[in-house]
Amino acid sequence: MGHGKAKLSFRLLAVLMIIPLPKTLHIKFRDTLIKICHLFYFYMMGTSEDQYARFVNSAAWSNGHHGSETESFGYQVREFVKGVMEMSVEFAKGCRDIVRQSLGKEDSFMRKNLGKLKGPCDKVCGKLRFFNEYLPEDKDPLHAWSVICFVLVLAFAVLSVNTEGENSIPLEKKLSIHPLSADRILLPDGRYIAYREEGVAADRARYSIIVPHNFLSSRLAGIPGLKASLLEEFGIRLLTYDLPGFGESDPHPSRNLESSALDMSFFASSVGVNDKFWVLGYSSGGLHAWAALKYIPDRLAGAAMFAPMVNPYDSMMTKGEMYGIWEKWTRKRKFMYFLARRFPRSLVYFYRRTFLSGKHGKIDKWLSLSLGKRDRALIEDPIYEEFWQRDVEESVRQGNAKPFLEEAVLQVSNWGFRLADLKLQKKQQGKGIVSLLKSFLSRGQDEYTGFLGPIHIWQGMDDRVVPPSMTDFVHRVLPGAAMHKLPYEGHFTYFYFCDECHRQIFTTLFGTPQGPLNIAVEVDQSPVEGDGEEQEEGTFCNATLN
């Protein structure tokens, strides 16, 4: 072990001896440096202090020095520090000489290059010479201009620091918890669903639309910015509800898309929607609209989809469709989908740091969205920010990450059905005697499978949240769906706060507005003879549906 340490000390000594030292370095520093290396060597070898003292004395005697006094370790350290200080002084002097040689001499490199700029500088100074008339008479122009330039640079530096400080420390708003205000209905399994109703009353509604909200939203969203007068004009009753675990709705113990469709059916019956209704799915809310088309098709009059989300891992997608979808997404969003598919519980960590942190933030940051110019301009609008903040506050009211985790998993997992199952097609006859008898009895009446009603899909061509390739896949699988491609529109711009867009949507779905249903009641107050008493009998003379 000692030999290894000795080799290390000798290597260190060799390195120190081959370092090029300045010629002006004091000889005393060299001797001190050698002594320090000797001390390090004997320390590594385990030599005692007396043995080292005898070695120093013998070395001094052999060199012709009468070193009767033993130099202690403290003395060696002091001499070493003195040598370092002397070397630092010499190094500073060397740097000073280099600067003088580079800038002080006429034939130096820097002076030659700076001399080339003298002509242009003189021209600029000549053009600005008239400003000298405004300077004080007792001040040298060169001195005054140098002071002015320094003050300007200092002022711009202060302004830039202040501006950066304001931008780098944004004011964070905290989420507010609002009082309970929703109407709720009781489901057969004992859970409550909170909902919101807009438009005309149930007995006057010509059309009923039910809207399941998307991820990180609530019943308050509906169709953002939709005017009540437009609902009245078309006779529409708009119903939105909180998904299980969102807003004021109770969570579901084992939620899936089939249970979501059944909840929608029970909800519609509970609020008095006895006829067929339309379902509207926006973005990830489209999952629940697809489920309604599959599991409760008899209750639906039609479906309106706006950039509907589908499973990005669907096995029916071609490579080109899948590439067109994934290339539009940020790396973080792709990573979040991967976690939702493979390690869903790890998403709780990200949710706790974003929308469940108790503070407000931007939707593109929280959900890792890449947005186009028009979408980005919209989310910066104060009207949108106010709507978004209130909607998020209602969505995360319960502070539970489980419903959000369930929504994320539903997007990338097996739905229990395929979109191709919704395609309208003739039912294939089975084999066997029973199937033959059924086909014979129902001769002339073809049986169909899939959804019989209309499906309308609106897609912004500049949408980077749900790329157009996703709806191209839907149209390939469901060729009967009506596609409405919107040039220059993004993910939010056509659906949010656009009065003309909302009118176009309702006109496409329902045609010319006819207003709500009118039940006119007239009372005939003519006297009726009988037993000498006059009675007034109210009769319904005219009850018409307009």
Most confident segment among 60-74, 125-139, 428-442, 477-491: 477-491
Whether the predicted pLDDT of 506 surpasses 90: yes
Task: State the pLDDT at residue 387.
Answer: 96
Q: How far apart are alpha carbons 463 and 486 in whole angstroms? A: 10
Residue 141 included in any domain: no
Task: State the pLDDT at residue 402.
Answer: 96
Q: How far apart are alpha carbons 415 and 287 in whole angstroms? A: 9
- pLDDT digits over 393-411, tens only? 999 999 999 999 999 999 9
- 8 confidence band (pLDDT: 50, 70, 90): very low
- 56 confidence band (pLDDT: 50, 70, 90): low
- pLDDT digits over 170-222, tens only? 556 888 889 999 999 999 999 999 999 999 999 999 999 999 999 999 999 99
Give mean pLDDT, residues 414-430.
Answer: 83
Q: Give pTM, 2 decimals.
A: 0.65
CATH number of the structural domain spanning residue 287: 3.40.50.1820
Unique residue bearing structure tokens 């097609």? 425
Residue 480 included in any domain: yes
Q: What angle do CA 297, 301, 302 make, to 5 degrees?
A: 85
Task: State the pLDDT at residue 32.
Answer: 59
Please state the domain count of the chain: 1
Q: Which of 259, 201, 258 has the alpha carbon at shortest distance from 232?
A: 201
Higher-confidence residue of 344 and 145: namely: 344
Q: How far apart are alpha carbons 52 and 70 in whole angstroms? A: 9
Residue 436 included in any domain: no
- Indicate the pairing of strand 192-199 with strand 455-460: unpaired
Residue 404 included in any domain: yes
- pLDDT digits over 278-307, tens only? 999 999 999 999 999 999 999 999 999 999
Residue 418 included in any domain: yes
Residue 300 included in any domain: yes
Unique residue bearing structure tokens 């980005």? 376
Percent of the chain with pLDDT over 70: 67
Whether the predicted pLDDT of 424 surpasses 50: yes
Q: What is the mean pLDDT of the chain?
A: 80
Residue 299 included in any domain: yes
Task: State the pLDDT at residue 93.
Answer: 80
Residue 30 included in any domain: no
Full residue range of the structural domain in which residue 268 is found? 184-425+450-517
User: Among 74-78, 227-231, 305-309, where is mean pLDDT lowest?
Assistant: 74-78
